[in-house]
Structure 1
Amino acid sequence: MGFMHTKFFRLGFSLLVAVCLMLGAFIQPAAALTNEQKLLSEVWRIVNRTYLDETFNHQNWTAVRQKALEKPLQNNEAAYGAIQKMLKSLDDPFTRFLDPEQYRSLQVNTSGELTGVGLQIALNPENGRLEVVSPIAGSPADKAGIRPRDRILKIEGISTENLTLDEAAARMRGPSGSLVTLVIERDGEGETEVRVVRDRIALNPVISELRVSPQGTPIGYLRLTQFNANASMELAHAISSLEKKGAAAYILDLRNNPGGLLQAGIEIARLWLDSGTIVYTVNRQGIQGNFDAFGPALTQDPLVILVNQGTASASEILAGALQDNGRATLVGETTFGKGLIQSLFELSDGSGLAVTIAKYETPKHRDINKLGIKPDKVIPQEPINREKIGTEADLQYEAAVELLTKNS
């Protein structure tokens, strides 16, 4: 009896082992996924669930994942590379991976607020030196007397010679009230040390000014540089203030505005419209959402919108909405042609993923992706430098002034 019992136990045990081994064949891979593989799977799942094109660019999306997981991913860099390769197979430049640094910088841009010194910086293409494009008006850097074209040689004693733009920006950012020391070089003045106290900075994407045309028409000139979280509020303030100053017509300059938040584009369209559809959205299921204006508009004055090849995304939603509703005349060149909407996802390691989740159509159901919006009055123009924007050297601006003067 005891013998039988042991035998049965042994048999039972070996059966159990066999079952475990069989199960093991199924369970093992999931349990053994490295952090790098988990990150790749996380990206795959988000795309699988939300991506606009359900054929995934006519490929077997599951097979793409299996192939990507075949090779061991030694570190984050390898994982990021594999993720980028996997996303590249979708052939959609807007569905993209952002490493933690890029993701943070995008969030800062769209949130419309950061703490730091308030400088826009760039690397000079000729010599690779770190230069100030411009200080943000009223920011600590502005108050400290830093000017456009100043060269930043050192940040906190560290030479900027081998820093990337991101690294330099990260060194200048920091908590409100903390101090940062910069060494600045200016043409004809040599080097100076500037101490700047960091502060909260609201990124105001609106430039506004009341101008008078040669014929005496008061024109409100508004330039919008991006659609961040402050854009709609700042533009509403600017319009109200220009109305009080007696503006009789408006120019809204959206040239080289790469877009930003969809919601900001919709809110800004509402500032100009009493009623009407602003945009239709279509997702993978073909569902159409639409956003409407419910008025009243802040002004009924005539409006010309300036556009060019750099006018993209939320800028095109706004331009298309106001053109289709007959609210604005468009002047300039055909726009960029980005009719796709992305959603941003934060990943487990602090990196980010932008995924195309929908496309949009203008109120007259124009799909502008890769086509752009053609202005009512086409005025080609060679690129001009920042100082000449909105001056007599700016042919598109001059054409807008002429149109408004004629109409008023």
Structure 2
Amino acid sequence: MFKQKLIVRIELAVIAAILTGSSFSASKALGKTQPSPQKLVDEVWQILDKNYVDVSFNHQDWKAIRQQYLSRSYSSNKQAYGAIQEMVAKLGDRYTEFYDPQEFKALNSDLSGNLTGVGLELGENEKTKALTVIAPIQGTPAFKAGILPGDLIVQINGEITQGMKIEDAVKRIVGPVGTKVVLTIQRASQSQTFTLTRANIAIYPVTYNTQTTAVGKIGYIRLPQFTETSPAEMHRAIEALEKQQVQGYVLDLRSDPGGLLDASLQIASMWLKQGAIVSLVNRDRVKDNYNASGHPLTNKPLVILVDKGSASASEILSGALQDDNRATLVGTRTFGKGLVQSVEPLEDGSGLKLTIAKYYTPKGRDINHVGIAPDITVALTEAQQKALVENQTLGTLADPQYAKAVDNLSQLIQSGANHASLQGGK
């Protein structure tokens, strides 16, 4: 159902570095005969009519809206694009967006990993609509400058962002490598200005290392996003750490805004022996269940680090492992995005991203707008966050959340060793 229909994606709105891996291409669409402007408008309407998650279409007469937009005269596709954006905006869904050919080409470039910008993942505050930093990507200009999750971007190059759409903010922040952009940030009651130099953003899906503790070696794996290559990278990381005979794992999903559904399913199966991973429910209340493959790479103890920047695919993975009692979650409550998007290329090279379903954890939890509460809460102060960035000590014992994860993991390893000893003595 969902698997064959469209390219399933689950992500936040983002800045020039995080719309992640997919196999679709605009080239096929560009090779077709160009559709008339009216046909293009109707094509978008039809896709939404058949697939959009809300059958009430934001409590509107959707058929009347079709007639309204098809009755107009369009002299160019550019006029049609404006009409389509108006039509899509009527849904009131910040995750459903239309991209003109240039924007869709840029999106396709991002999906292919050719990324430029400053390395910010952006969201919109649900209540205030303020432009909010979900997370800076590690090692990028924004990260090195000290921009933090939760910061509000109030100005871009002196232009006030109040009422600005995320995609418009993206256009203002991205630009040629080596050029500068000035961001004014509101953090609590303080305002700060950052001048950032745009750069190529190198995305490394998975990094890992080992830490020696009193109970033996443990493996640390950091997953910054769920891309097309993330499952293979995760597989290699676990295999390498298993060869080093680690006793347990810390999986770091902090500031991971999500990405591809399929990547989250494959990675969950590397940790889960069996059982459900997630359920997707479409607008007809038809449920599609996704289960573990039954071939985990390890059964060793696992602790997962999460925070308010952990969203969508991160929440699917952490929610599944928490519900299965496979992992302990340490950190702070996650973002709370329980919606699934698909991306559809259109005939003229433009594209549409639309919300097609809600998802639920194996125990039936709806985490949309709520997030996932960790088993052990460890919050960081602003000073601690800043120190981790400046000193590059994320994922070390100088990192309070990581240190707590190591402490809990050590207890799990010791408990397992004691249990094995007792079993062997029978």
What TM-score do the two structures reach when normalised by structure 2?
0.66
Question: In the alignment, residue 59 of structure 2 is paired with which amino acid?
Answer: H
The answer to whether the aligner puts 1:122 opposite 2:118 as a matched pair is yes
**Deviations for 1:59-92, whole angstroms, at most 9, x for unmatched residues?**
1112223334455555555433332222122121
Question: In the alignment, residue 100 of structure 1 is paired with which amino acid?
Answer: P
Give secondary structure in 1 for the equivalent of 2:210: strand
Counterpart in the other structure of 1:209: 209
Distance 1:133 1:348, change over 3 A: same
After TM superposition, the structure 1 stretch with the greater mean CA deviation from structure 2, 83-92 or 256-265, is 83-92
Question: In the alignment, residue 85 of structure 2 is paired with which amino acid?
Answer: Q
Counterpart in the other structure of 2:410: 405
Distance in 1 (CA, whole Å) between partners of 2:269 and 2:380 is: 30
Counterpart in the other structure of 2:188: none
Higher relative contact order, chain-length normalized (CA < 8 Å, sep 6+): 2
The answer to whether the aligner puts 1:318 opposite 2:295 as a matched pair is no
**Deviations for 1:104-145, whole angstroms, at most 9, x for unmatched residues?**
34334445x55xxxx754289xxxxxxx9859xxxxxxxxxx
Counterpart contact for 2:271–2:299, Cα < 8 Å: yes
Counterpart in the other structure of 1:8: none
**Deviations for 1:167-219, whole angstroms, at most 9, x for unmatched residues?**
526xxxxxxxxxxxx899xxxxxxxxxxxxx9xx9954001111224x35312
Distance 1:313 1:105, change over 3 A: farther
Distance in 2 (CA, whole Å) between partners of 1:47 and 1:36 is: 17
Distance 1:382 1:87, change over 3 A: farther
Distance in 2 (CA, whole Å) between partners of 1:98 and 1:341 is: 18
Counterpart in the other structure of 2:298: 299
- Offset at residue 100 of structure 1 (A): 2.8
- Offset at residue 58 of structure 1 (A): 1.0
Tell me which of 167, 176, 180 is aligned to 1:168.
176
Counterpart in the other structure of 2:64: 63
Give secondary structure in 1 for the equivalent of 2:39: helix
Counterpart in the other structure of 2:271: 272
Give secondary structure in 2 for the equivalent of 1:46: helix
Counterpart in the other structure of 2:358: 359
Give secondary structure in 1 for the equivalent of 2:258: coil
Identity within the alignment, %:
46
Corresponding residue pairs, total = 311
Give secondary structure in 2 for the equivalent of 1:168: coil
Counterpart in the other structure of 2:285: 286
The answer to whether the aligner puts 1:391 opposite 2:396 as a matched pair is yes
- Offset at residue 238 of structure 1 (A): 0.3
- Offset at residue 165 of structure 1 (A): 5.9
Counterpart contact for 1:211–1:220, Cα < 8 Å: yes
Counterpart contact for 2:331–2:379, Cα < 8 Å: yes
Counterpart in the other structure of 1:80: 81
- Offset at residue 43 of structure 1 (A): 1.1
Counterpart contact for 1:204–1:234, Cα < 8 Å: no
Distance in 2 (CA, whole Å) between partners of 1:376 and 1:103 is: 40
Counterpart contact for 2:117–2:174, Cα < 8 Å: no
Counterpart contact for 2:118–2:174, Cα < 8 Å: no
Counterpart contact for 1:110–1:227, Cα < 8 Å: no
Gaps of 5+ in 2: 1-33, 121-136, 146-170, 181-199, 414-426
Give secondary structure in 2 for the equivalent of 1:388: coil
Distance in 1 (CA, whole Å) between partners of 2:59 and 2:357 is: 18
**Deviations for 1:296-324, whole angstroms, at most 9, x for unmatched residues?**
31111111111111111111111111111
After TM superposition, the structure 1 stretch with the greater mean CA deviation from structure 2, 295-304 or 36-45, is 36-45
Counterpart contact for 2:278–2:359, Cα < 8 Å: yes
After TM superposition, the structure 1 stretch with the greater mean CA deviation from structure 2, 295-304 or 231-240, is 295-304
Counterpart contact for 2:116–2:175, Cα < 8 Å: no
- The residue correspondences of 1:364-379 to structure 2 (distance < 5 A) are 364-379=363-378
Distance in 1 (CA, whole Å) between partners of 2:266 and 2:394 is: 26
- The residue correspondences of 1:132-151 to structure 2 (distance < 5 A) are 134=139
Larger Rg: 1
Counterpart in the other structure of 1:380: 379
Counterpart in the other structure of 1:39: 40
**Deviations for 1:342-363, whole angstroms, at most 9, x for unmatched residues?**
1110012212111111111111
Gaps of 5+ in 1: 1-32, 125-131, 136-147, 150-162, 170-181, 185-197
- Offset at residue 47 of structure 1 (A): 0.2
What TM-score do the two structures reach when normalised by structure 1?
0.69
